[in-house]
Structure 1
Amino acid sequence: MVLFMKNERVFISGGAGVIGTELTRILVQLGAEVFVGDLKKRPKDLSEKVRYRQGDLNHISHAEIEGFSPTIFIHLAATFERSTENYDFWEKNFWNNVRLSHHLMDIFKDTPTLRKVLFASSYLIYDPSKYIFKKPALTPTFLSESTPIAPRNLTGMAKLAHEIELNFLNGFKSAQFTSVCARIFRGYGCNSRDVISRWIRSALREEKITVFRPEGMFDYIYAKDTAFALVRLAQTPDINGIINLGTGKSRRVSDVVDILQRRFQNLEVDLIDDIDMDYEASCADMSLFKEKIAGWEPAYTLESAISEIIEFEKSQLICEQKKQNGNILISSASRKIPLIKSILEAKDRFDKEILVYAGDINKDAHAQFVCDGLILLPATSVENFEEILNLLKENQIELVIPTRDGELEFWATHRKALEKEGIQVIVSEPEAITTSLDKLAFAKFGEIKGFPIIPAWEHPQGKGPFVVKERYGAGSRSIGLNIETLDAALEWGAKLAQPIYQPFIEGKEISVDAWLDKTSKVKGLVLRERNQVAQGESVVTTTFRDTRLEAQCTQLLEALPLHGPVVLQVIIDSLGNPHIIELNARFGGASTASVAVGLDIWYWTLLEWDNQNLDLVPYLRSDKEARQIRVPQDILLYDSSF
């Protein structure tokens, strides 16, 4: 009997995985509030009721967990190898298994609302000499919770280490919460990397499958059965410690092959005999589980589960055939390596198969060395539009990310024409671009709307001191600061093409990074102090919080039809009042500092490109601040063909 979980708040690490997907669905149906954390992007079929955090949980903070007030923590997140663990797995195992488990419990152990922890452990903890043999076994070895332990690989070692950690905490925290370590046997399920799913995918593609040791015996447990069993464990108050989770019945590898051959009559099977591999014969002793949870039995047999997986994989093949991932162009890429790396990191989270090209007028642009290639672009002028369009089509570009002020008008003007060709451009509306590039127009906008934008004039007003700069283009070029007299200001302005004059305001200079969706709503915003500035760019910058100023900046940005990343430059005077200098409707040179504290600009951009609901992806601002020091960094490439 399954009871409702209406008052439970459940955090699931690895909740977008094979077991986690099933577990989340069940918990939502039972009325629980669920918060999922996973490296993968949010599954499209995940209930909108579920709160989702995409990213490495090694970086999740105590504030994020405590803000959710979980009553149950189910720890599924882990990494593993499909068969033999290779050398590279050494580091992956430590980071994603050992360190992650410790980090999460370091947070959860001090969360006052927590009353239960479920850890997805593994039968790999048991001594392999008890169930792995040189010759095929006639019957499986039943492994009980008291069977000797001797982890057979790094994964098993990591699982055992965390079991020991939980047992340690039990000596201090048992009055607050209980811990259950479910030693799960041979799991398989939909959308998995397990051998059954891999064989089914091969069969559907009419490929041969390779089979090792068909006499091997495993306790195969379907992900839906595992998920349901974990729910029962979560609901049962008097269970603590180690408990096996399998079906209690073993099947041979040959049984799986026979089932597949009945479903795929032309399936070719390559049996490999000449291999140095032992024979496994394991099975879960489920006596303790059935004693604690009366009446539990797995709902699926190997036959019924394989039928379900086949139908799932068929649907995935159809989706793959329909799906055509376009590529990404970063225009005016030049030497903007930190920006490009930030985009690449988000792209890998979203879809590693997408190619990212550097676009530039310079054939020697350094950006090409960190991208998948260089697209040599002509100048972004009206007469070159057709040539640029053809280059985008030739390279299957479906997303363009402009990065330079001087090209924004071109992309904004042609955005709708490009959309008709299936190409999206992350750029604001022409009206917003014009207002942001024209400092006189931006000052007028502030005057009309009542925003604290520093006034600007074509002729100086007042007695000074003044700031004199070009009306268009980068504000740091040929700028005159703190010019004391009217005559001196006019003299400086005579050197410029189209000078404007502003009052000089002394104070702390800050930048405000933000990202706005297609409806021009601010998704997230970060303030950062410009500690050191060189040639108009922050070389040292530090993030900080000021809720009043954040609200003011949000109000200003949403008054313009902006889209994508933007940067405001602001001066805070001695009284704490903001004076807005300018708006850049693009990613800033030091905006990667804001990405580091949670302003997930490029991942949001990709999700929006994919027409995903961004309301389901919360802005998770770090509770720690970051200081970024921008220094040159060497890039080393190795290739024998140089």
Structure 2
Amino acid sequence: MTYAPDPAALVDLRPRRVMVTGGAGFIGSHLTRRLLELGHEVLVVDNFYSGTRQNIEDLLEHKRFELMRHDVTFPLYVEVDEIYHLACPASPVFYQRDPVQTTKTCVHGSINMLGLAKRTGAKILLASTSEVYGDPAVHPQEESYWGNVNPVGIRSCYDEGKRCAETLFFDYYRQHRLRIKVARIFNTYGPRMLPNDGRVVSSFIVQALMGQPLSIFGDGQQTRSFCYVDDLVEGLIRLMDSPDDVTGPINLGNPGEFTMEELARKVVALTNGSGGLTHHPLPADDPTRRRPDTTRAEEILGWTPGVDLDKGLSLTVDYFRELLADAASA
């Protein structure tokens, strides 16, 4: 008798084929490494607008890794089982440089990736953002809050772009029964951030290591909650692996809340910085308070961040110290 294996069983035996758009970026490069560690095949799709080849260069020879240079605002035809859709410049320096392209990436990029997921039957996760809450009138921010966003400001290309991306994901879920996941990511930091991306953690650390005064905008009493990148990646993977009826949106972030002045003084202490602090006018539409309510992530995903700010900052300072030393000796 000829043995005919069950095709479904054969599918279960192979690694999952996972695509990460924006996989050469800060968060995407960490997620890619973790997925490879878990035994999956990973296709990184990136146009290198804000990501860098250096972030994934050491993976190029990995037998389960593939890199494709591609702009997600154009359709893509590949075969995948899961899609982590991270592609989009996420820092003001990059998304305000070309705001029209930022909106296109959020909207056209999501339409293209959702279309790919529909064709292949893939499960798809959107890396949304706490910016969908705008300058919140509710604190802390829980997922049921609809936000307070300026639709015509300089940050709107990103804020409203991500809000529209969420709309598209849930419309594909309702209309086409697509398997979707939506994560709202709060301020994330760690190694492989760009030194010039304008994010507060990287800016403070680079300024301190270079002996410059740390730039504080406004009175420094606005707050943020900072999540170390390894914790964030764990949350994304848990959300992707959750049952199909768990769609989100789910907040992923560290609920510890710090003022910008508190953060600056922590960085100064870690780096023995001598430049002091300097104050500048507050940028337009900059949120005054930001802290996630992570109850859903705790109850549904069993996820809580494990790296506190002092530990995470220390690891990030070490990374930037080495990066600056390498640049000086080049």
Q: TM-score, normalised by structure 1?
A: 0.44
2:24 pairs with 1:16: yes
Q: 2: distance between equivalents of 1:228 and 1:290? A: 12
Q: Which amino acid aligns with 1:253?
A: M
Alignment CA distance shift 1:205-1:274 (3 Å): closer
- Runs of at least 5 residues in structure 2 that lack an aligned partner in the other structure: 1-11, 151-155
Partner in structure 1 of residue 76 of structure 2: 61
Superposition deviation, residue 275 in structure 1: 5.2
Partner in structure 2 of residue 511 of structure 1: none
Would the aligned equivalents of 1:73 and 1:117 in 2 still touch at CA under 8 Å?
Answer: yes
Partner in structure 2 of residue 197 of structure 1: 202
Would the aligned equivalents of 2:114 and 2:172 in 1 still touch at CA under 8 Å?
Answer: no
Partner in structure 1 of residue 236 of structure 2: 230
Q: 2: distance between equivalents of 1:163 and 1:305? A: 30
Q: 2: distance between equivalents of 1:100 and 1:206? A: 40
2:212 pairs with 1:207: yes
Q: Which has the larger radius of gyration?
A: 1
Partner in structure 2 of residue 548 of structure 1: none
Q: 2: distance between equivalents of 1:100 and 1:183? A: 17
2:186 pairs with 1:164: no
2:39 pairs with 1:31: yes
Alignment CA distance shift 1:81-1:197 (3 Å): closer
Q: 2: distance between equivalents of 1:286 and 1:244? A: 6
Would the aligned equivalents of 2:136 and 2:289 in 1 still touch at CA under 8 Å?
Answer: no
Q: Which amino acid aligns with 2:16?
A: E
Alignment of 1:97-176 (within 5 A): 97-112=106-121, 114=122, 116-130=123-137, 141-152=139-150, 153-174=156-177
CA RMSD across the alignment: 2.5
Q: Which amino acid aligns with 2:140?
A: F
Partner in structure 2 of residue 432 of structure 1: none
Greater relative CO (CA pairs within 8 A, separation 6+): 2
- Select the residue among 60, 80, 84 that pairs with 1:74: 84
Q: 1: distance between equivalents of 2:113 and 2:98? A: 21
Aligned length: 300
SS at match of 1:106: helix
Superposition deviation, residue 170 in structure 1: 0.8
Q: 1: distance between equivalents of 2:293 and 2:171? A: 25
Structure with greater proportional strand content: 1
Alignment CA distance shift 1:312-1:99 (3 Å): same
Q: 2: distance between equivalents of 1:111 and 1:204? A: 48
SS at match of 2:320: helix
Superposition deviation, residue 23 in structure 1: 0.6
Q: 1: distance between equivalents of 2:145 and 2:92? A: 25
Alignment CA distance shift 1:162-1:269 (3 Å): same
Would the aligned equivalents of 1:181 and 1:243 in 2 still touch at CA under 8 Å?
Answer: yes
| Identity of matched residues, % | 24
Superposition deviation, residue 265 in structure 1: 2.6
Would the aligned equivalents of 1:14 and 1:78 in 2 still touch at CA under 8 Å?
Answer: yes
Q: TM-score, normalised by structure 2?
A: 0.83
Q: 2: distance between equivalents of 1:84 and 1:319? A: 24
Q: Which amino acid aligns with 1:17?
A: G
SS at match of 2:318: helix
Deviation track 1:133-182 (CA, whole Å, cap 9, x = no partner) reads xxxxxxxx1111111234342211111111111111112332xx421111
Superposition deviation, residue 309 in structure 1: 0.9
- Select the residue among 104, 121, 125 that pairs with 1:95: 104
Q: 2: distance between equivalents of 1:269 and 1:102? A: 46
SS at match of 1:110: helix
Q: Which amino acid aligns with 1:166?
A: F
Superposition deviation, residue 279 in structure 1: 6.1
- Select the residue among 310, 315, 319 that pairs with 2:322: 315
Partner in structure 2 of residue 252 of structure 1: 259
Q: Which amino acid aligns with 1:272?
A: H
Superposition deviation, residue 284 in structure 1: 0.6
SS at match of 2:180: strand
